[in-house]
Structure 1
Amino acid sequence: MNKINLIKSPDKPTLKYPPMESALIPPPPVEIDPSWAIPSARQCIAWWDDYRMLDNIKSHSMLVAEVAIQVSTLAVESGINVDIPTIQASALLHDIAKSYCIYHGGNHSQLGAAWVMRLTGNPAISMGVLHHVFWPFEPEADKYFLPLVVSYADKRVMHDTLTSLEKRFNDLKVRYGKTDKIKQRIHKTFEQALHLEERLGKLIGVDLNACSLDCGRLV
């Protein structure tokens, strides 16, 4: 039998991965590119129907957008440079995949971010959708105002009613806290929301917990 001579591939460099316990590397600060399209409130609401959003989620999304606009308006009044139309679009679209995932499963923030990126081509809007459930990095409000304000606004709205963080998370524990693991996850998210509220409040000079957040109109 003839001997087959195998050609040895050249050695490849060894890839070194960071240890699993290492801290996540945060993304670059959010910067708005003037060339990115920003859909109007009317367009975002039309997409709700395209993606068969349930009526209760529509009501929730509308109020989340109004809260995000109000906090953003307070930021502008305090001299912070934020883009309110971009924040509005991200807040209106943050739950665009929620109805689909209720029926078919999946992560609604990840799927929603992918859909929103396809619809808008705007990574800033998509970033707010992706991280509205949980922000896995240090909540530096000056660098990441857009995704953080969308996340915070979502935490201040229980169904279609403005509420405190404590009441919002107590409701989540009752509805979803079926196991100790889930309860721990909800508590961790609650602690982050409190930290986020403090960071945003310090940035804009407002005690958000005590603020009535009289919601502004969509722009």
Structure 2
Amino acid sequence: MRIPSRNHCYRLMREMGMLEHIAAHSLMVCMVSLKLAEGIIGRGVPLSRALIRAGAILHDITKTRSFKTGEHHGDTGGVLLEELGFPEVGDIIRQHVRLEGVSSPDIITEAEIVHYADKRVLHDHVVGLDERMRYIIGRYARTEEHVRILTGIWNQTRTLEEKIFHHQAFGPEELASRISREEFAAEREILMEIFHGE
């Protein structure tokens, strides 16, 4: 399995012209994903940190472009990473908006972790599922059908939350306090150097 390094991911974000606020969101999704993975791996569940990192950093890789094209950025981001030779990363990106289904209670996948983390991050802050859902529906739901689809995704995400936090030493309401804003700021500085350097 080929997985792009952190800096390779950052360069891809720059090459795709990702807006800085989307990059900051992606970075926070990565930090949340890795924090959740830490607890799960500590309980003996085999997960790839490198795959989670790449999938989380790149989950919105085509989102900036989608503002002009109207494309479904989960689908096109997945295709892009597959074409670049990273099909496992592409699979995570493809499922970050809508999972193919929550796996059995005994299995947690990298795609589920990134999907859940994305649903907990509003801009670059960790929030509860209800707050994030209100934002998503307010921003993206144009019809009653959109509301129905998004509500279904959120119901699935609540089930996923129970499964993920079964493996944590803390509850969902404590997640924000477990993420270091200092580490986020330091990593964002590295990201911005790559964005504006070279």
| Same-fold status (TM-score > 0.5) | yes
Query: 2:42 maps to what in 1?
Result: 77
The corresponding residue for 2:146 is 182
Distance 2:90 2:54 in 1: 9
Gaps of at least 5 residues in structure 1 are 1-35
Distance (Å, rounded) in 1 between the aligned partners of 2:139 and 2:70:
17
* Distance in 2 (alpha carbons) for counterparts of 1:196 and 1:128: 15
Pairing of 1:1-219 with structure 2 (within 5 A): 36-119=1-84, 121-140=85-104, 142-202=106-166, 204-213=167-176, 214-215=178-179
Q: TM-score, normalised by structure 2?
A: 0.84
Stretches of 4+ aligned residues off by more than 6 angstroms:
none
Q: How many Å apart are 1:149 and its aligned residue?
A: 0.3
Please provide the CA RMSD for this pair: 1.8
* CA distance in structure 2 between the partners assigned to 1:194 and 1:201 by the alignment: 11
How many aligned positions are there? 181
The one-letter amino acid of 2:139's match is R
Taking structure 1 as the reference length, what is the TM-score of the superposition?
Answer: 0.77
- Kindly indicate whether the alpha-carbon contact (under 8 Å) linking 1:128 and 1:146 is maintained by their aligned counterparts in 2: yes
Partner Cα separation in structure 1 for residue 26 and residue 57 of structure 2 = 5
Unaligned runs of 5+ in 2: 188-198
Task: From the CA coordinates, give the structure whose radius of gyration is larger.
Answer: 1
**Counterpart-to-counterpart distance in 2, 1:141 and 1:113:** 26
By how many angstroms is 1:142 displaced? 4.4
Asked whether the 8 Å contact 2:102–2:160 carries over to 1, the reply is no
